[in-house]
Each structure stands twice: as C-alpha cells, then as structure tokens.
C-alpha cells in the first residue's frame, strides 16, 4: 500500500515537475502574420569604401517590424553588375547580410565603382536604398578548374547545326546591344520559330579535343564523382521568356573516339531562360538527366554517368512550348569546377 502511494506521488510529481513551459513556439509568429509592417531601421552598410582585393567585406544591417520575404540587390552603378540576397528575417542586425564582392548577375563589378544596396519586399510596395559604397579594388577573378570556352576565338571550329530556323549561331562582340560578361566576345544562339514549327532552333557542339586542345578526346577531371563536377556558364536572357537552353554532355561509352548517338548516352540539363541580363548558371553533372530523344543519346551502354568519357559539350536552343518568333540566348565563360559551383 505504501509503495503504491509512493508510486502515485512519484508519477504525480513527475507530471507536474515537468510542467515547465517549452520556450519553442509552434508555427509562424502571429506578429509576422497579422502585425503591421514597418521599417524600424533602414538598410545601411558597415563601410563607405571596400577593398575586395584585400578580402574585405561589407555588412548590411536593418530591422523590420515583421518577418516578410525581402530581396536585397547590390547594384554596380557603372557596370550594372548585381549581387542579390533574399531572406525573410525581420532583424538582420544580429545576422547581417555579408557581401564579399561576388556577383549574381554579370557583368562583374569594377574597380572604383560606386554601388548601392536596394531593399524590396514581396508583399509590400516599399523600396529602400542604402548609402553609396565605393569599391576601391575588385575581387580577383577566381580560377576555374577546366575552362570549356570563353568564346574569345571566333575561328574555333564550332560544329553548328540547325533545322532551318537559325538566324545567328556564332560568337559576337556586341549582339543587339549586349556586351559580354568578360573580355570581348560571347556566343549567341538565335532563331525565328514559326507557330507550328519544331521547338528546336539551332545548336552548337564543342568537342573536348577542340575545347582543351590537349590531344585527348575527353575532358579530364580530377574526380569521377558526377556530383562533384559542376558546370558553370554565364547565360544571357532577353527577358522574353521564350528560349530554353539545353546543355548536353555526350559520352563515348566504348571509348572508341566516336560518339554514336543511337547507342551511347548523352546527359543534359535544360534551362528555361526567364530572366533579363547575364546570369551565372551552375549545376552538377549529377543533376543532369539522360536524353529522352529517341536515337539521340537516350541509351547509355554503361548505364551510368561516366564523366571521364565526356567527348563533347553541346548547346541547343529550343523554344518554350507556346512561344514563337525571335528566340535568342547568350553564352559566356563556360567552365567546370570541382566540389562547388563557380563563385566569381
């Protein structure tokens, strides 16, 4: 009997000794959902000038009354380069936005260029600008592991092909008012699609032998893990949401030096081009998918991705379904990096 009472009292005490509140909140904060939006502290930079060559950084701080989706764009006032940060924190004094001179959209920032940070909100019309920051020196252009092509050599033997709708398929210094992201040239694929025509407009195939000029048929990677090999390139969109770019890698599965499209695999990554300006695009080789076009790389002899057998990179311009007319895309500085995407 006594034991039972002790057990009962013990259980009772455990129940109510454990009756402390849990400080974690369940669900989104009510004040974020129903509270009034107000800019409590405007966005401000930690410095007026920054030298990215010395690995300096800029911290942006601010405070809102509620948690809401925001976007901070750091804009180069001369070059038009943009670095974009997004988030929904309401107080970024504690965890400020940190900028180390990298870009999201090309071109690159320039030396002695003034920049400004612009804060915008998804759910509110307000736009706030910070004070100007001057870049005294730019960040050194980081290297890439394998440069596929920077398209600076117009005489390079690109293998171009079309189904008759191509209007431009080559390198350009300034195509329709667009400048390259780096150096002097970039590659343009353009076509004119009729309403009932095929979605495919034109394409360009660049073999590893031509790209690397090393005498080897294949790209030579330091790792065989497709997830650790990143393809990077600057892609220009005209903002008309018409083109789709398919970046494809053809594998010579039997290593006979010849790619047989009906028997050997090709892995691609398709990008709907829905932006305006230069955008750095990155993806790992592991993210690519095998071609679904019958007779064009949809069969892989080895049944898996073999980066060391990539014999060529191919760029295909397609129209997005339901669109027609002039369709164009720009490509610059295509490269491979290992273990992480290219961070300019």
Q: How far is the CB of 218 from other proteins (least distance, A)?
A: 33
- By CB under 8 A, the residues from 139 to 168 that bind other proteins are none
Counting residues that bind other proteins (by CB under 8 A) gives 25
**Which H or E element spans position 17?**
helix 2-17
C-beta of 317: minimal distance to other proteins in Å?
31
Q: Which of residues 163-182 bind other proteins (CB under 8 A)?
A: none
Nearest distance from C-beta of residue 226 to other proteins, angstroms: 19
- Least separation in angstroms between residue 30's CB and other proteins is 4
Structure tokens given for 3: 């034991």
**Residue environment code for 75-112, b if the CB has 16+ CB neighbours within 10 A, otherwise e:** bbeebbbbbebeeebbebeeebbebebbbbbbbbbeee
Q: Binding of other proteins at residue 7 (CB under 8 A)?
A: yes
Q: Is 123 in the site for other proteins (CB under 8 A)?
A: no
Q: Which is nearer to other proteins, 174 or 227 (CB)?
A: 227
Residue 6 binds other proteins, judged by CB under 8 A: no
Beta carbon nearer to other proteins, 24 or 164:
24
What number of residues does the chain have? 344
Work out how close the CB of 13 gets to other proteins at its nearest, in angstroms, rounded to a whole number: 10
C-beta of 67 vs 120, nearer to other proteins: 67
Residue placing its CB nearer to other proteins in the complex, 38 or 173: 38
Whose Cβ is closer to other proteins: residue 34's or residue 157's? 34
State in angstroms the smallest separation of the CB of 65 from other proteins. 11
DSSP state of 4: H
Torsion of CA 55, 147, 246, 301, to 10 degrees: -130
Phi and psi at residue 256, to the nearest 5°: -95, 5
Contacting range for other proteins; rule: CB under 8 A; set: 7-15, 127-135, 280-288, 311-319: 7-15
Look at phi and psi of residue 279 and say left if phi exceeds 0, alpha if psi is from -120 to 50, else beta.
beta
Rg (alpha carbons) of the chain, rounded to whole number: 26
The DSSP line for 178-216 is BPPSSSS-EEEEEEEE-TTS-SEEEEEEEEHHHHH-SS-
Cα 75 to Cα 84: distance, rounded to the nearest angstrom? 9
CB of 85 to other proteins, least distance (A): 22
36 or 155, CB closer to other proteins?
36
What residue spans of 69-219 are helical by DSSP H?
208-212
Residue 9 or 262: the one with the smaller Cβ distance to other proteins is 9
- Give the nearer residue to other proteins in terms of CB position, either 26 or 213: 26
| Contact positions with other proteins (CB under 8 A) in 11-70 | 11-12, 14-16, 18-19, 21-31, 33-35
**The token pair that represents 292 in the structure block:** 């679904």
From the list 9-17, 77-85, 113-121, 268-276, the region that binds other proteins by CB under 8 A is 9-17
Rounded least distance, CB 36 to other proteins, Å? 9
Give me the residues paired with residue 86 across strands.
71
Q: Are 40 and 65 in contact (CB under 8 A)?
A: yes
Of 127, 105, 125, 159, the residue nearest 280 (C-alpha): 105
Q: Where along the sequence are the contacts to other proteins (CB under 8 A)? A: 1, 4, 7-8, 11-12, 14-16, 18-19, 21-31, 33-35
């Amino acid at each position: 009997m006594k034991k039972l009472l002790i057990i009962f009292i013990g259980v009772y005490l455990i129940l109510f000794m454990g009756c402390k509140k849990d400080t974690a909140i369940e669900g989104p904060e009510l004040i974020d959902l129903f509270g009034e939006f107000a800019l409590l502290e405007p966005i401000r930079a930690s410095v007026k000038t920054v030298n990215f060559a010395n690995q300096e950084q800029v911290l942006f701080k601010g405070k809102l009354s509620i948690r809401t989706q925001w976007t901070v764009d750091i804009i180069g006032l001369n070059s038009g380069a943009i670095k974009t940060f997004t988030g929904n924190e309401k107080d970024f004094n504690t965890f400020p936005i940190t900028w180390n001179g990298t870009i999201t959209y090309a071109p690159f920032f320039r030396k002695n260029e003034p920049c400004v940070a612009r804060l915008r909100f998804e759910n509110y019309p307000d736009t706030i600008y910070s004070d100007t920051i001057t870049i005294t020196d730019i960040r050194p252009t980081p290297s890439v592991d394998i440069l596929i092509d920077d398209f600076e050599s117009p005489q390079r033997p690109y293998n171009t092909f079309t189904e008759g709708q191509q209007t431009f398929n080559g390198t350009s210094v300034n195509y329709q008012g667009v400048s390259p992201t780096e150096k002097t040239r970039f590659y343009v694929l353009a076509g004119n699609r009729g309403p009932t025509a095929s979605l495919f407009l034109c394409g360009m195939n660049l073999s590893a032998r031509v790209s690397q000029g090393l005498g080897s048929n294949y790209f030579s990677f330091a790792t065989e893990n497709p997830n650790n090999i990143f393809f990077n390139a600057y892609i220009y969109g005209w903002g008309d949401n018409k083109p789709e770019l398919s970046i494809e890698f053809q594998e010579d599965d039997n290593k006979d030096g010849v790619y047989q499209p009906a028997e050997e695999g090709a892995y691609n990554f398709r990008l709907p081009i829905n932006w305006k300006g230069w955008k750095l695009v990155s993806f790992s080789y592991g993210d690519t998918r095998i071609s679904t076009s019958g007779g064009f790389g949809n069969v892989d002899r080895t049944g898996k991705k073999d980066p060391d057998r990539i014999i060529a990179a191919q760029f295909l311009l397609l129209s997005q379904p339901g669109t027609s007319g002039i369709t164009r895309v720009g490509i610059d500085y295509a490269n491979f990096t290992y273990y992480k995407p290219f961070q300019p």
